[in-house]
Amino acid sequence: MGGRARQARHATGMTRNNLADWISFFDSNHPIYVNARHSKVHAGLVAAGIERYLARPDLTVLDYGCGEALYAERLAARTGRLILCEAAPHLRERLQARFAGDAHIAVVAPEAVAALPDRSFDVIVMHSVAQYLTAGDFTALLALFRRLLRADGRLIVGDVVRPDVGIVTDARALLALAAANGFFIAALFGLMRTALSGYRKLRQRMGLTRYSEADMLRTLKAAGFSARRAAHNIGHNQARMTFEAAPVSSPQQ
């Protein structure tokens, strides 16, 4: 009971309506990136982090909850097929228009992913999404991912928020990134805008779903994966965590 009780507490009362609010926010003109330099640096770091898990150039990869996917072309060049899944409808439409002529990239809704046949993917990446899901919704997604992964596939869950990591830690990580990449002043103003934005209000009202390392490993094991915490989180914020998981064969398989 201990692990599941902790997970329920970490969910901070989030509901499916809360998830709809988060989707609506990310479908808007939000202030998450302070300027174009920030978005470019962020995309490069995420791409480099995901590339560590692309062992062969012929892999079929799912990026679940891809957001703006500014790194997509870079990943597509390292894969056989890249599927971008995005729940925010207007953002998804923009992605579909952007990649309409690219034979290596497809953009789909979550419902389309759920309808795909078993063993469709070599790698599934879900980066910076788990914190916006209830523990129950995350567990349901893990069951889907296990069905969709090939026997030797890998699931990568990135940017998992620990219980002891709050908004101050996130702000410090952003400022360190900005200082190293030439947009420190913009980041200061960006943090002030964020403090007054819908993101700050949503985060205060709904919280984020948080997992300790032990909780996440326990959750992945219960869903049928063997897992380990990666040495480095994907992205700039090393106070958060990335996990690499592989489906465990059941006796029926």
Q: Is residue 138 part of a domain?
A: yes
* DSSP assignment string, 195-235: HTSHHHHHHHHH------HHHHHHHHHHTTEEEEE-SS-SS
Task: In whole angstroms, give the CA distance from residue 14 to residue 133.
Answer: 8
Q: Is residue 252 part of a domain?
A: no
Q: Is residue 68 part of a domain?
A: yes
Burial 158-171 (b: 16+ CB within 10 A, else e): bbbbbeebeeeebb
What pLDDT was estimated at residue 167? 84
Domain around 173: 2-247
What pLDDT was estimated at residue 2? 37
What pLDDT was estimated at residue 200? 61
Q: Is residue 225 part of a domain?
A: yes
What pLDDT was estimated at residue 198? 59
Q: Is residue 253 part of a domain?
A: no
Residues 6+ apart with CB under 8 A from 233: 49, 158, 159, 160, 239, 240, 241, 242
What pLDDT was estimated at residue 19? 78
Domain count, the chain: 1
What pLDDT was estimated at residue 199? 62
The CATH number covering residue 83 comes to 3.40.50.150
Mean pLDDT, 10 residues at a time, the chain of 253 residues: 35 53 76 88 97 96 96 96 96 97 96 98 97 94 98 98 91 95 92 69 71 98 98 97 93 48
